[in-house]
Amino acid sequence: MAETHCKLLVIGGGPGGYVTAIRAAQLGIDTLIVDDGPLGGTCLNIGCIPSKALIHAGDEFEKLIDAARGGSPLGMSAAAPEIDFARTMAWKDGIVAKLTGGVAGLLKKAGAKSLRGRGTIRDGKSVTVETDLGAQTVHAEYMVIATGSEPVELGVLPFGGKVISSTGALSLPTVPERLVVVGAGYIGLEIGTAFAKLGAKVTILEAASQILPVWDADLTRPVAKRLADLGVAVMTDAKVTGLSDDGERLQVRSGAGDDIELEADKILVAAGRRPRTKGFGLEQLALPMDGPFIRIDNQCRTAMRGVYAIGDVTGDPMLAHRAMAQGEMVADLIAGNRRVWDKQAIPAICFTDPEIVTVGVGPQAARREGHAVRIGQFPLRANGRAMTLGRDDGFVRVIARQDNHLVLGIEAVGAGVSEFASAFALAIEMGARLEDIADTMHAHPTLGEAIQESALAALGRGLHF
């Protein structure tokens, strides 16, 4: 068996893993990254990027549909639109291929080595990798576990046949005529909305009493209204009990206790994700766990010296940008630099229609933490740029301490507000106060003026509403 030695071995080529490897190599660390799939992991290949491509395709096709129906407020019309879904998917796949190639190029430029194959941990210093050319043993001084997460499978609805995960939904050859989505979290709503715009008849089931149950009801209300406008049927307090005996229909128990059968060409199970801790020898390390997650400290160290863990495998929030930030920190630590995880806020975005973005804490969470708060909210219907874009539903809301006006959280719902995430996070990381945002000149006419106006409203100085 061939043997390889390096200082740092990264297991997993997703956003956390490849960022760790790039930064470590830039810092002069002999680095090897191992993954049995394409570089970029779930996010780039079968998650974040392809889903956003599909969402954009749905948005564009919906505009054509509206124009054909004479519903365009701009006075535009079009003939009956058609979609060549194979070309749409080829376009999506081209974006993914370009980005995966880009990751490989960045690793090479930085001087990091990569090895394609399934890695199995032997101990805290070595991993066996099964490659196309045979098995190799990699010995390393440091190890970073960045194996990510995978879709949750329901016991009463295992994957197979017409029951698919988000991975399957993003590689469908045609738009299903009838799509049932089990789970109204961000994954289910993002994909379900996109397919509704592409022409599918979509039904969404949620066991909780509202869609996006972990989000503030004020933020989700515009999303619920938009789903209704799109003709998407939403059933809350709904429990899936399985498939009919012939496997053709989905059986559901409603909140009222009625048993219902739904016809579906495809059933997307979007019931969440779980950390990927099986199948690569993690048990050989006997690491302490926090529930299903690997336990880490504020430097992403596990209980074993020289072994770090980052990303989804370490707990919530399961977000690519969290994994990237952790990976960058770990590389610095291995290089001998002093770092500690001290992020004040991690942005969370739901790419529904309209989009939702939150950074920091919302009003209820702030009060639970014992804060007396000031809240300022500005509706996008009072924003000139939102009106000219034809989408003025939603708002921006800022939450700050009553005593010193320190900003604790900023939230928004509206078309395109995902791009606010960086500004929101920067304000909180920099310790901004309401006055800092209110007295910063925001360019006109932009959607971003709503950020300033929300701070002005919290100070009792609102100008345009």
pLDDT tens per residue, range 350-369: 999 999 999 999 999 999 99
Q: CB-based contacts of 201: which residues, under 8 Å, 6+ apart?
A: 177, 178, 179, 231
Is pLDDT above 80 for 312?
Answer: yes
Which residue's entry shows tokens 């933490």?
369
Integer angstrom CA distances of residue 302 from 142, 146, 273, 278, 297: 12, 12, 22, 17, 7
Average pLDDT, the chain: 96
CB 408 within 8 A of CB 373: yes
Percentage of the chain with pLDDT > 70?
Answer: 100
Report the pLDDT averaged over residues 428-454: 98
The predicted pLDDT at position 100 comes to: 95
The predicted pLDDT at position 56 comes to: 98
The predicted pLDDT at position 57 comes to: 98
pLDDT tens per residue, range 103-117: 999 999 999 999 999
Per-residue confidence band for 437, with pLDDT thresholds at 50, 70 and 90: very high
CB 80 within 8 A of CB 65: no
Per-residue confidence band for 235, with pLDDT thresholds at 50, 70 and 90: very high
Per-residue confidence band for 392, with pLDDT thresholds at 50, 70 and 90: very high
Query: What residue segments make up the domains of the chain, in order of their start?
Result: 2-53+86-151+274-334, 163-271, 348-458
Strands 249-253 and 259-263: antiparallel
Is pLDDT above 90 for 287?
Answer: yes
> Tokens representing 3?
């043997």
CATH number (3.30.390.30, 3.40.50.2300, 1.10.3720.10, 3.40.50.1100) of 348-458 reads 3.30.390.30
Is pLDDT above 80 for 331?
Answer: yes
| Radius of gyration in angstroms for the set of CA atoms belonging to the chain, rounded to a whole number | 24
pLDDT tens per residue, range 124-149: 999 999 999 899 999 999 999 999 99
Report the pLDDT averaged over residues 222-249: 95
End-to-end Cα, the chain, rounded Å: 71
Per-residue confidence band for 53, with pLDDT thresholds at 50, 70 and 90: very high
CA distance 318 to 451: 27
Catalytic residues: 444
Report the pLDDT averaged over residues 215-233: 97
Report the pLDDT averaged over residues 12-22: 98
The predicted pLDDT at position 73 comes to: 85
Same fold across 2-53+86-151+274-334 and 163-271: yes
CATH number (3.50.50.60, 3.40.190.290, 3.40.5.10, 3.30.70.1290) of 163-271 reads 3.50.50.60
pLDDT tens per residue, range 57-116: 999 999 999 999 887 888 889 888 999 999 999 999 999 999 999 999 999 999 999 999
Assess whether the previous peptide bond of 288 is cis (omega < 30° from 0): no
The predicted pLDDT at position 74 comes to: 86
Report the pLDDT averaged over residues 155-164: 95
pTM assigned to the model: 0.95
CATH number (3.40.605.10, 3.40.47.10, 3.50.50.60, 3.90.1150.10) of 2-53+86-151+274-334 reads 3.50.50.60
